[in-house]
Amino acid sequence: METAKLVGSRLRDARKAKGLTQKEVAAHFRMTQQQYSRFENGVFELNYGQIIELCLFYNITPNELFGFDE
């Protein structure tokens, strides 16, 4: 599986662990649900700033997000 899809899967898991919907997360980051969905589906890759913001939001490390701790 390509990196963007693996990262998207980990984002989805982190969101669900917090009991949030894509719409709720998207609203927090001032984007549409469709835009956020593209990250979880691996359609769009995250830039550095987005990685940091999402990791802080979900209380995970970039290593966890990218699977380097596995």
Distance in angstroms (rounded) separating the CA atoms of residues 44 and 1: 15
Q: Is residue 69 part of a domain?
A: no
pLDDT digit string, tens, across residues 44-68: 888 999 999 999 999 999 999 998 8
pLDDT of residue 3: 85
Given a contact cutoff of 8 angstroms between Cβ atoms, the answer to whether 39 and 46 are in contact is yes
Domain span at 37:
3-64
pLDDT of residue 44: 87
Q: Is residue 37 part of a domain?
A: yes
Q: Is residue 26 part of a domain?
A: yes
CATH number, domain of 25, equals: 1.10.260.40
Distance in angstroms (rounded) separating the CA atoms of residues 39 and 25: 12
| Domains contained in the chain, number | 1
Record the pTM: 0.89
